Chains A and B, each alone.
Chain A
Amino acid sequence: MAGFSELIKNFDKTRDYVRDFFIYGCKVRSDFDRKSIRTYGDEKRRVESWMGDYMRYDDSLRGRSVSISVDSGHIPENPLYNAYYSKSFTDNDIRLHFLLTDILQDGQSRTLKELVDSLNAEYEQLFDEQTVRNKLREYVDEGIIIAEKQGKTLYYSLSRDTADDFVREYKGLDDALRFFSETQHFGIIGNSLLKMLGLTNDIFFIKHNYIIHTLEDILIPDILTAINEKRSISFTSFSDKMKREGDDLGTENKAVPMRILVSVQTGRRYLAAYIPNYRRFSAFRLDNMKALKMEGCYENYDALKDKFERNIRHCFGVSFGMRREAGAVTPMKITFYADEKKEAFIIDRLEREKRCCTLEHTGEHLYTLTADVFDPNEIMHWAKTFIGRIVSIEGGADTVRARFYDDIRRMNSMYGGDEDESVQ
């Protein structure tokens, strides 16, 4: 494997591999036909290096499959953060990083020329002015170096905000970092702070922890900027079918971003956005998005945002249904059985999980949930967690109700019950 580097330039490619190893867990080399053997080998080796003991290998007739098996509720640090710590760089990048910050540590500000002279005279390192200027510009953007004009000349100084000072001055910040480094949003940034300080999270474990989400964080800062600046964005999306079939081109989209929707139960995060071409809102899975670019300002953003706020109240999950903006909303009523005295926990569950729906006590042991939602289909995945409690379903779409009754009939048969023709 000559030429292998632990460091990467392209985050998107790595995202794909980690996701495939992590989510499917039983892919073999030949399942990655769209990639070269070299690419597969290199990516696999990197992931092995990051995931250590969490890698699992199984031999089958098809070959050796590689997977990631993590009980993510029982780990103190998300191992996938390592993907962010693998960015490649040049020799000049690392030299200038340590030398410029060393020179500026005395608190004095200096001109570009003074810095170049210092590098040469004090460290015997020859750099041309342009290289140093570019690095300074980059570090000003990162907030590490401050540039101030005195007359016509730019003076550079080091930011005085250091991680050590912050933790020393603000009591409790270290524990807050430990916690927030493993939770949304952008736990990776908290983790970078912990690492900078030489600290580790030795206190908190996260249940229902979808560690794969961190790989999508790479897209979110640009989305947030677009929201703040009321801009459109363009991006490529890949459906599950496209990914299965190795379609590397995907679909081009132009959309106006509204909000990030996070599901803490299904492992998915979405961008809710308006699609001008279709004149409707839609939700795009973040893990299916790539090549995001900022576009121009959207003229009627505020009016659109108001409309979004009215619409989102009718989403049980993320689906805006197939209706156009002026379309009708289909109300749905699901009635559940729960004995108030013996089964109060069922009523508690309904109350805490009802989301945008309303719950009413409609009879002895009967509780009816009214769902005024765009996509009645979306509610059924949740409703089926109450299998054994559902008395009736009214409204919504005929197909949704029919599918539920059919599902119960099939499940009854699957688990050895009588196939009851009356269930319909």
Chain B
Amino acid sequence: MNLFSEIYGTYFRVAAKLLENEVTDEKTVRETVLRDGFRDSVLFLPQKLIPSGEDWGLFRRTADGNLRRITKKAPVKVLTRLQKMWLKAKLSDPRIRLFMDSETLASLEQRLADVPPLYGREQFCFIDRFLDSDDYSDEKYIQNFRTALDAVKRRRIVFIEFVSGHGKRMSGRFVLLKMEYSPKNDKFRAYCYQLQNEKVRSSGIINIGRITKIEDTGRAYRAPVSMDEYFSSRKCSTPAMIRVSTERNGVERFMLEFASYEKHTVRNLETGQYNVELWYDQQDETELLIRLLSFGPVIEIFGPEHLREQAKQRIKRQAELLEKYK
């Protein structure tokens, strides 16, 4: 039982896909490899599938030049023990209730009765997760989540009432584009466009836990949606520019902590320092700023000016506080 096994591999998967049909042809083989293989697989995989003397022998050439599989039926997709153990472990995850009702869960639990879970939740600990996570056992939350999920999947226009991050009651008609989950906050949010007269008024994010009412309006949003456009509309216009020094293993620590950001790094050969350009969502600017400040003098923010100025003001205030209360 191994995570790293060829039975889950791309080559096996491509072969299984092609073996679904009794007869196929070289063109389909190449197209499937191009679509489902790695970038360079088309250079290596077709000759293993198409009879060539060095192939695996899974297909034979027919009189009309096509390829006939040597198997009798389409491959069956048998779950491995590892996959079932993983599923069993997920049954103990409270978030599973967002997707499946109690009856279905009980039935799946029964089906997997003889399978041990891959892990116990107590074997892992999230050391720095925030304590105000969403309440996945709350029936109202589950109901709201499912309505939101359905709205995303069927692109329904929904009426939502919610409490904003500043405590204001808000409402409106929204189209929900995708769901977002943060392991740091342990919260779900929905990316959305707010609509006015069925046209996009603004883009935003709504915390599922802040929704007090969500209703399907019975209408679907038909206009095409580009997630790239949505993300670009929320991105900073100028990246944060950071100088990272080698002090206190700063480069390693910084690069790991900010690994989730899109960034561009250049190393200064003389000093060993790194100059990093880091792109972020505008709404996360404060979060970025405080995380940068937590590195102390190991890093320096040198752009854009407004970000550097915010850092400067906070540090100035800090120095004043220490002076005042000493």
Contacts and interface: CB of A to CB of B under 8 A. Distances in A.
Contacts of A408: 315, 318-319, 322
A67 interface: yes
A144 B78 contact: yes
A224 B85 CA distance: 13
Contacts of B39: 48-50, 52
Interface in B63-109: 70-73, 75-84, 86-87, 89-90, 93, 95-96, 99-101, 104, 107-108
A94 B104 contact: no
Interface string B300-325: 10000000100111111111011101
B160 to A, nearest CB: 18
Given A58-B264, A185-B119, 9 more contacts: A23-B252, A23-B255, A48-B39, A67-B265, A71-B261, A162-B79, A389-B318, A408-B319, A411-B297
Contacts of B183: 183-184, 206, 208-209, 264
A102 B74 CA distance: 8
B8 A192 contact: yes
B203 to A, nearest CB: 14
A85 B251 CA distance: 31
A7 B4 CA distance: 12
Interface string A81-104: 010111111010111011101100
Interface in A169-205: 169-173, 175-176, 179-180, 183-186, 188-190, 192-193, 195-198, 203-205
Contacts of B81: 141-143
B130 to A, nearest CB: 4
B21 to A, nearest CB: 14
B76 A260 contact: no
Contacts of A93: 6
B314 A388 contact: yes
B124 A262 contact: yes
Contact of B77 (A169, A179, A197): A197
B120 to A, nearest CB: 8
A384 B248 CA distance: 15
B11 to A, nearest CB: 7
Interface string A291-326: 000000000000000000000100101100000000
Contact of B182 (A11, A58, A207, A260): A207
What's the interface size class on A, roughly?
35 or more
Contact of B58 (A58, A98, A390): A98
Contacts of B256: 23, 266-268
B124 A259 contact: yes
Given A94-B12, A97-B12, A71 B262 contact: yes
Interface of A: 5-7, 11, 22-26, 45, 48-50, 52, 56, 58, 60-62, 67, 69-74, 82, 84-89, 91, 93-95, 97-99, 101-102, 105, 122-123, 125, 141-144, 158-159, 161-164, 166, 169-173, 175-176, 179-180, 183-186, 188-190, 192-193, 195-198, 203-212, 217-218, 220-221, 224, 227, 240, 259-268, 312, 315, 317-318, 335, 337, 348, 351-355, 381-382, 384-392, 405, 407-412, 414-417, 420, 422-423
Contact of B99 (A89, A122, A179, A417): A179
Contacts, number: 393
B293 interface: yes
A22 B294 contact: no
B20 to A, nearest CB: 10
Contacts of B2: 221
A195 B80 CA distance: 14
B322 A26 contact: no
B4 A172 contact: no
Nearest to B280: A71
B100 A208 contact: no
Interface of B: 1-13, 15-17, 19, 38-41, 44, 56-58, 70-73, 75-84, 86-87, 89-90, 93, 95-96, 99-101, 104, 107-108, 111, 118-119, 122-132, 149, 152-153, 178-185, 189, 191, 227, 231, 249, 251-253, 255-267, 269, 274, 279, 281, 290-291, 293-297, 300, 308, 311-319, 321-323, 325-326
Contacts of A389: 318, 321
Contacts of A7: 9, 11
B308 A415 contact: yes
Contacts of B311: 415
A143 B2 CA distance: 11
A220 B16 CA distance: 29
Contact of B56 (A95, A164, A415): A95
27 contacts: A25-B263, A25-B264, A26-B267, A67-B264, A94-B58, A101-B76, A166-B111, A169-B111, A170-B104, A172-B101, A176-B99, A189-B3, A195-B13, A197-B77, A211-B259, A224-B119, A224-B123, A260-B125, A262-B125, A268-B256, A337-B321, A382-B294, A388-B313, A388-B317, A388-B321, A408-B315, A417-B312
B322 A390 contact: yes
A170 B315 contact: no
A220 B89 CA distance: 14
A73 B261 CA distance: 8
A420 B323 contact: yes
B58 A95 contact: yes
Contact of A390 (B56, B131, B313, B318): B318
A22 B259 contact: yes
A391 B183 CA distance: 31
A318 B220 CA distance: 49
A157 to B, nearest CB: 11
Contacts of B78: 101, 144, 158-159, 161-163
A177 B100 CA distance: 11
A176 B124 contact: no
A85 B262 contact: no
Contacts of B84: 143, 161
Contact of A352 (B44, B131, B281, B323): B131
A191 to B, nearest CB: 9
A388 B322 CA distance: 9
A166 B78 CA distance: 10
Contacts of A192: 8, 83
A405 B274 CA distance: 25
A335 B281 CA distance: 31
Contact of A6 (B44, B180, B308): B44
Given A205-B178, A265-B128, A265-B257, A166 B79 contact: yes
Contacts of A95: 56-58
A88 B10 CA distance: 10
